[in-house]
Structure 1
């Protein structure tokens, strides 16, 4: 007897197949997608870092990983992407069955993800047919959605913002303090006494420092060129969401509180140029189009503006490219552009970068090569790539807080790690005898030297290289008894080797750690305070005082400064001896 099955009409099957094919059509377009040559890697150890895994894959196994993506619902598996099928096959052969950190890895071909933009459009179509409508679309305007995405505290009084940020910082520092409790078994009575003194923390948490300005404070913004979903016109602004969520629409930024009026005028001037251009905006949906980004840097002391325009070359000839540059120069040489404060114009070509290749440099088209801004009476030149705190007025509060906390003396030496263009070190310079700055970006070091010269400062030297590679040799240049380390690393924090060298250099007595991402910095902070071991031979750094500084009004972000002091050596020795006795007892028992 035949089973009772539903017969699906052939045309319905074809329609379903067409829909599925449409979701994966992006794989056959001209542009490269990291989804095309992807592997799934399972069986990973419980504790590992993405940087460690990249080192294993790219250095030890000589693989060419272009991207590693951790899925939302997994910590013991992830995706690794490659440039072509041969590289993917090589990776699977090398990784499948490989033993790493006591675990045997499993590597296999991963299916590409469906195009989120196509999937969202199909879902919206189905919702329309079924009469469904998202509450967000029904109740929030585009302007409100943009504010929620960029300045989520836009409708909250500033004092309330500060209270909330202070509460969040205390909660995060409580977690850090609990880590200190776990690793500092010998001094728990002392920690308990401090916690009673400092309201639950073993160190002082000072009140949050306000930003002197809360409106139009950003001196640097990076905008996307796209299409406004309401007007269907080319627009220079911010994306309403990510491609992964099925959103490519760009919304205008004129209503945003944190962007300066000068920046808004410059954006509108460039937007006018794009709308008159024969070249359409870049489309992430099919990799077509040309205009991609605009970066605006606005000096808060002079009012001068620098623009960096980014263009996808696509199939433009050299002659066409030169014509585009000429048009840009003409457009930003007008009286309107001059009145807007535009003093510098750069142009950068965008191409797909291969592993090991350097990105193209911005080409100077017109005006000054730099603009200048000032912090604590120091002048700083700003180049297209230079790091400069985005809130100039609050940066003065931040740097002065670091100076005050450091207990700096006239004979102190400052080691400014991740110094960028030298802003922090140069602000410290008049309070100490010598400043050594370390920075991995060569262009930033050039700017740092130029900034020292600009301010007639002669007691600062700057060095190019990774902190973990050159810190020891730089420290060897000083014989000072009082060395203070200033650490202002990227969001991901310092490399563990740099932390180890700081711990093992006993001449460093105090350390000021500055972070724009306190949650990301917890591992660094914990390793600084960890008890001595065979690797971390120097005495631990003990947190003494912390102060949050609100660099980013109307957002959830906050800057944090923490002062560490080197623990007394005899305490560390006592802990070392106790640790050795414990290990001896353990060995005897075994």
Structure 2
């Protein structure tokens, strides 16, 4: 259930900045863990020294009189009455502090404390150079036109040829997988020989890395976009678009998305329609600086099959009354029922009021105002209804490639598929024709409703879907499986799968293969390592061994890439794979546009105000 959203929240930005700062700091001290002795590792700071003393005299005091095993003294150049004394290990350092702290020498009482190691000077110098370069780049960015600054912020690869983008992403994925590989090598001594021999076969990796799969569409490919409402720096008017920077760097300005190549033209028109409403309303955009204002964001979902648009408008109500909110809802319905909105393809409208939650309260949900309650799209010849809150891959054409690859790797006659974080059921339904049974697990209740409806829509009988956190409901779902050959497909949010869920998958021996799909592979490394680490008291089942990795470019012009990794249970025999080649499945994507979509009466609500609250 992974998805990239360029317009992340302030909290996510602050968290990422804190993580980056922590990473930079840890790099400066990485030399302490590389093996070998460093005088920085076990040193003390000794203060309160007498005005006149000799280093040889001090060494005799420590090593001979007090029986300490001091290996080195570091004295500051300015002749201060303090210095560093270094020892061989933590035990000797602790002993030195106990002996020296409070010791009277030459009429002075010494103070001894544990000292922090010095940062690696080379790493620190490189970091300072990077900071200087970033500061220089920031000044250069400030002199760029706003349109170019927005492109750099949202689609940083916008001016790089697509084939070059693919090479960059392929290289980054390989480097990341090598880190994963090295981590497994460190923790699993028993597999080191196998890893080393495989690295000769797979160009430095212990498993096969397939060439990156291109996106069939590189322009206007996003079927879902979330736009922020803010103030345009150039016009000083309320604007619907993307931020030029982050809140952490002091930037809250918003620029219009008209120049961005990955957003469809119909979506851009819908943005202008809502922007027109915001400006006429004379209600200010919400300000993250002082929490004033009303309009928060606009989410646009577009069916690449029919061109229908679903709009979800969110606002902070401040002190608006229920009656005022109802009147505002009626105004939105009227605005998006206009000829211009109909021509744009607006077929569904939702309104969400975002209030600060109290403890125990559920999060706010979008309320349906007009039109259809869902839009319908197609992947690999299957039809999918999509609700306001449900997850659906943002690049429909590339999703067809991703699901075809996953189905080819995961489909096995006689197997049961376990689709963890299944969203609207797309992957599970694509696998259904290759497996005996599919069980889908999803946290979002609306998405589960969609998954069940999609199974019915496509006349697929061998799928069941369950609502709940994966780590909570996995045991009960696994208990339903009667066979002893399970293929698990994991497609979690960016942060990865909860450790309890990883443990349950590891400890269920019936899970023979596992496909992990991630839109943020760097965030999922810990999951990869935990799946592959040797058995322990907690992870009792045999480890999963990486067999094959397939990067899929779901997000052209950005740094992001989707990664699919096939793991096999160590010691398990390889099950019979699907006989239908991947190429044959991928070809279905080309025929999707000719599939007729049937909307049931339940999918459409023609009343403009029946669901207004």
TM bracket (short chain): 0.7 to 0.9
Show CA shifts across 1:246-302 (max 9, x none): 112110100000000110010011111111113222222332221111000001011
User: How do residues 199-278 of structure 1 correspond to structure 2 at under 5 angstroms?
Assistant: 199-278=203-282
Indicate which of 171, 193, 196 corresponds to 2:175: 171
Give the C-alpha shift of residue 459 in structure 1.
Answer: 0.3
Indicate which of 451, 454, 460 corresponds to 1:451: 454
Q: In structure 2, what is the equivalent of residue 425 of structure 1?
A: 428
Please say which of residues 340-349 and 439-448 is displaced more in the overlay.
439-448
Q: Residues 248 and 69 from structure 1, CA distance in 2 versus in 1: closer, same or farther, beyond 3 angstroms?
A: closer
Measure, in 2, the Cα distance between the counterparts of 1:134 and 1:182: 40
Q: Residues 559 and 72 from structure 1, CA distance in 2 versus in 1: closer, same or farther, beyond 3 angstroms?
A: closer
Measure, in 1, the Cα distance between the counterparts of 2:262 and 2:522: 23
SS in 2 for 1:148: helix
Measure, in 2, the Cα distance between the counterparts of 1:299 and 1:435: 26
Does residue 554 of structure 1 match 2:529? no
Q: In structure 2, what is the equivalent of residue 299 of structure 1?
A: 303
Does residue 386 of structure 1 match 2:368? no
Q: Residues 265 and 184 from structure 1, CA distance in 2 versus in 1: closer, same or farther, beyond 3 angstroms?
A: same
Q: In structure 2, what is the equivalent of residue 309 of structure 1?
A: 313
Is the Cα–Cα contact under 8 Å of residues 528 and 540 in structure 1 kept in the other structure? yes
Q: In structure 1, what is the equivalent of residue 548 of structure 2?
A: 545
Q: What is the aligned-residue RMSD (CA, Å)?
A: 2.3
Measure, in 1, the Cα distance between the counterparts of 2:137 and 2:565: 48
Is the Cα–Cα contact under 8 Å of residues 487 and 514 in structure 2 kept in the other structure? yes
Measure, in 1, the Cα distance between the counterparts of 2:181 and 2:244: 37
Measure, in 2, the Cα distance between the counterparts of 1:554 and 1:267: 21
Show CA shifts across 1:457-486 (max 9, x none): 110001112212221221121222321000
Measure, in 1, the Cα distance between the counterparts of 2:196 and 2:248: 47
Give the C-alpha shift of residue 72 in structure 1.
Answer: 5.7
Measure, in 2, the Cα distance between the counterparts of 1:133 and 1:176: 32
Give the C-alpha shift of residue 532 in structure 1.
Answer: 1.1
Measure, in 2, the Cα distance between the counterparts of 1:68 and 1:563: 28
Q: In structure 2, what is the equivalent of residue 320 of structure 1?
A: 324
Measure, in 2, the Cα distance between the counterparts of 1:136 and 1:353: 41
Give the C-alpha shift of residue 501 in structure 1.
Answer: 1.1
Gaps of 5+ in 2: 1-9, 26-135, 574-613
Give the C-alpha shift of residue 415 in structure 1.
Answer: 0.5
Q: Residues 393 and 69 from structure 1, CA distance in 2 versus in 1: closer, same or farther, beyond 3 angstroms?
A: closer
Does residue 466 of structure 1 match 2:476? no
Q: Residues 291 and 160 from structure 1, CA distance in 2 versus in 1: closer, same or farther, beyond 3 angstroms?
A: same
Residues paired across the two proteins, number: 452
Show CA shifts across 1:387-428 (max 9, x none): 00000000000011111122x223111001111121110111
SS in 2 for 1:323: helix
Does residue 363 of structure 1 match 2:367? yes
Q: Residues 74 and 315 from structure 1, CA distance in 2 versus in 1: closer, same or farther, beyond 3 angstroms?
A: same
Q: Residues 510 and 344 from structure 1, CA distance in 2 versus in 1: closer, same or farther, beyond 3 angstroms?
A: same
Q: Which protein, 1 or 2, shows the higher relative CO under an 8 Å CA cutoff with sep ≥ 6?
A: 2
Measure, in 1, the Cα distance between the counterparts of 2:24 and 2:151: 36
Show CA shifts across 1:490-509 (max 9, x none): 11111111111111111111
User: How do residues 90-129 of structure 1 correspond to structure 2 at under 5 angstroms?
Assistant: none
Is the Cα–Cα contact under 8 Å of residues 539 and 569 in structure 1 kept in the other structure? no
Measure, in 2, the Cα distance between the counterparts of 1:396 and 1:133: 38
Q: Residues 71 and 204 from structure 1, CA distance in 2 versus in 1: closer, same or farther, beyond 3 angstroms?
A: closer
SS in 2 for 1:415: strand
Give the C-alpha shift of residue 73 in structure 1.
Answer: 4.2
Q: In structure 1, what is the equivalent of residue 527 of structure 2?
A: 524
Q: Residues 134 and 386 from structure 1, CA distance in 2 versus in 1: closer, same or farther, beyond 3 angstroms?
A: closer
Give the C-alpha shift of residue 553 in structure 1.
Answer: 0.1
**TM-score of the pair, normalised by structure 1:** 0.74
Is the Cα–Cα contact under 8 Å of residues 390 and 444 in structure 2 kept in the other structure? no
SS in 2 for 1:309: strand
Give the C-alpha shift of residue 228 in structure 1.
Answer: 0.7
Give the C-alpha shift of residue 319 in structure 1.
Answer: 2.2
Q: Residues 559 and 73 from structure 1, CA distance in 2 versus in 1: closer, same or farther, beyond 3 angstroms?
A: closer
Q: In structure 2, what is the equivalent of residue 564 of structure 1?
A: 567
Q: Residues 133 and 485 from structure 1, CA distance in 2 versus in 1: closer, same or farther, beyond 3 angstroms?
A: closer
Please say which of residues 211-220 and 418-427 is displaced more in the overlay.
418-427
Show CA shifts across 1:278-329 (max 9, x none): 3222222332221111000001011000001111111212222222111111
Q: Residues 138 and 474 from structure 1, CA distance in 2 versus in 1: closer, same or farther, beyond 3 angstroms?
A: closer
Q: Residues 475 and 523 from structure 1, CA distance in 2 versus in 1: closer, same or farther, beyond 3 angstroms?
A: same
Q: In structure 1, what is the equivalent of residue 504 of structure 2?
A: 501
Show CA shifts across 1:203-258 (max 9, x none): 00000000000000000000011111101111110011122211121101000000
Give the C-alpha shift of residue 354 in structure 1.
Answer: 2.6
Measure, in 1, the Cα distance between the counterparts of 2:228 and 2:217: 26
Give the C-alpha shift of residue 360 in structure 1.
Answer: 1.4
Measure, in 2, the Cα distance between the counterparts of 1:133 and 1:397: 37
Give the C-alpha shift of residue 69 in structure 1.
Answer: 9.5
Q: In structure 2, what is the equivalent of residue 512 of structure 1?
A: 515
Give the C-alpha shift of residue 71 in structure 1.
Answer: 7.1
SS in 2 for 1:225: strand
Greater radius of gyration (CA): 2
Indicate which of 460, 473, 478 corresponds to 1:475: 478
Is the Cα–Cα contact under 8 Å of residues 141 and 149 in structure 2 kept in the other structure? no
Measure, in 1, the Cα distance between the counterparts of 2:397 and 2:423: 18
Q: Residues 527 and 134 from structure 1, CA distance in 2 versus in 1: closer, same or farther, beyond 3 angstroms?
A: closer
User: How do residues 71-82 of structure 1 correspond to structure 2 at under 5 angstroms?
Assistant: 73-74=21-22
Please say which of residues 534-543 and 144-153 is displaced more in the overlay.
534-543
Does residue 153 of structure 1 match 2:157? yes
SS in 2 for 1:276: helix
Q: Residues 404 and 68 from structure 1, CA distance in 2 versus in 1: closer, same or farther, beyond 3 angstroms?
A: closer
